[in-house]
Amino acid sequence: MDLLYENTWKAPSPYNPKLKLKDIYIYDTTLRDGEQTPGVCFTKEQKLEIARALDELGVSQIEAGFPIVSKREAEIVKAIASENLNADILALSRIRKEDINKAIDCDVDGIITFIATSPLHIKCKFKGKRLEDFFDTIVECIEYAKSHGLFVAFSAEDGTRTPLEDLIRVHKLAEEAGADRVHVADTAGTATPQAMEFICKALTCSLNKAHVGVHCHNDFGLAVINSIYGLIGGAKAVSTTVNGIGERAGNTSLEELIMSLIVLYDVDLKLNLEVLPKLCRMVEEYSGIKNPKNKPIVGELVFSHESGIHVDAVIENPLTYEPFLPEKIGLKRNIILGKHSGKRAVKYKLKLLGVEVEDKLLDKIVERVKELREKGEKIDDEKLLEIVEEIKRIKD
């Protein structure tokens, strides 16, 4: 196949910015926030397999679970931590020493500790309390975790509905106590891209050592773009889940985020992209949440083509109707025959099957393909060969 862009796997665009984003990394929470999807409960073996695949992909940190939830959960988190993966293993923890001790017992590399900070959450969850009433506890718990050699990320739950001055105040407090990272948590998925950029810029300018991470939910379908705008605003870390699973509408989709950053924003994340399809299928199977066929990046139809005009162009150069070559992530394109197919598509499919026919027969085969598809029959390889034999018999 003669590619117009012989030495690239994506067609360049003069409009997509090349962001100078440095030291960006992923901390994946499929095994914790992803598992909080109603009805999802991974087994120990499933969690271990997913963790190994995430590590093979090359994510920097894996949030393995919430050890205080149960004895079984703590055992699984400890088992993942004992795998000696390249990724750092994190555990979720409230600002309570018993939670931190559970995480320490699991031999994790770090914790993500959190408390709600928005007026709505404080009013409904901590009746009669103010945000300031938790400051001493936040400092004490972060210092305690750091004294045990843990990486500490502090997350202000419902941060995007917290007044900015309060968000900055609590995160500066966490930084002064030793937090390595602070999170902008869009807990209800209500932020806009512009708001995420604004908040992350304000936080980044206010902090000295700690860097910013973003944790976005997808209630309005904005989790991926909100995460990207958080990075544009100065954040360094992004929370993701495989296939975007998670509570309600889910979290930032791992595969959509990384391919958007790599293809559209020209960010080198140094990931083993060929692992993506395997990882996404694995989580799809283990979670029981089936991906739609048109799921971005890994959906069954994403690299499939039927329309005659499209197929003709794709045969000439796939980048005409594909944003990047599927081989980059270990997938293959598929030419599907149907009512929109033309001669070139049918001829191409027959060539793949080792069949050559003269043009007069090809016209009749194309006509028969359209006719049968409009009657509801699926035109797979076997059916196509049957059509060829049928047309040949009629000719003879």
Q: Compute CA distances 58 → 62, 75, 233, 327, whole Å.
A: 10, 24, 24, 18
Q: Residue ranges of the domains in the chain?
A: 25-287, 304-395
SS3 61: strand
Q: What is residue 2's predicted lDDT score, i.e. its pLDDT? A: 44
Q: What is the CATH number of domain 25-287?
A: 3.20.20.70
Task: Report residue 137's pLDDT band, with 50, 70 and 90 as the boundaries.
Answer: very high
**Dihedrals phi, psi of 8, to nearest 5 degrees:** -140, 165
The whole-model pTM stands at: 0.91
71: Cα separation from own chain's centroid: 29
Tell me: the pLDDT tens digits for 81-101?
Answer: 999 999 999 999 999 999 999
Please count the residues of the chain.
Answer: 396
Tell me: the pLDDT tens digits for 169-225?
Answer: 999 999 999 999 999 999 999 999 999 999 999 999 999 999 999 999 999 999 999
CB of 368 closer than 8 Å to CB of 392: no
Q: Partners of 10 in the beta sheet?
A: 324
pLDDT at 20 over 90: no
Give CA–CA dist 74/212, Å, rounded. Answer: 27
CB of 74 closer than 8 Å to CB of 105: yes
Other beta carbons within 10 angstroms of residue 298's beta carbon come to: 25
SS3 12: coil
Q: Which residue's entry shows tokens 């709505």? A: 120
The predicted model gives 124-153 an average pLDDT of 96
Give CA–CA dist 298/56, Å, rounded. Answer: 17
End-to-end CA distance of the chain: 35
Tell me: the pLDDT tens digits for 355-392?
Answer: 888 777 887 888 887 888 888 888 888 888 888 888 77
Tell me: the pLDDT tens digits for 145-182?
Answer: 999 999 999 999 999 999 999 999 999 999 999 999 99
Q: Compute CA distances 179 → 33, 168, 353, 380, whole Å.
A: 21, 14, 60, 57
Q: What is residue 307's predicted lDDT score, i.e. its pLDDT? A: 81
Largest CA distance in the chain: 90
Tell me: the pLDDT tens digits for 289-324?
Answer: 999 999 999 999 999 988 878 888 988 899 999 999
Instruction: Give helix 359-374 / helix 381-395 axis angle, nearest 10°.
Output: 130
375: Cα separation from own chain's centroid: 38
Give CA–CA dist 121/133, Å, rounded. Answer: 14
* Vertex 255 angle, CA 249 and 259, to 5°: 125
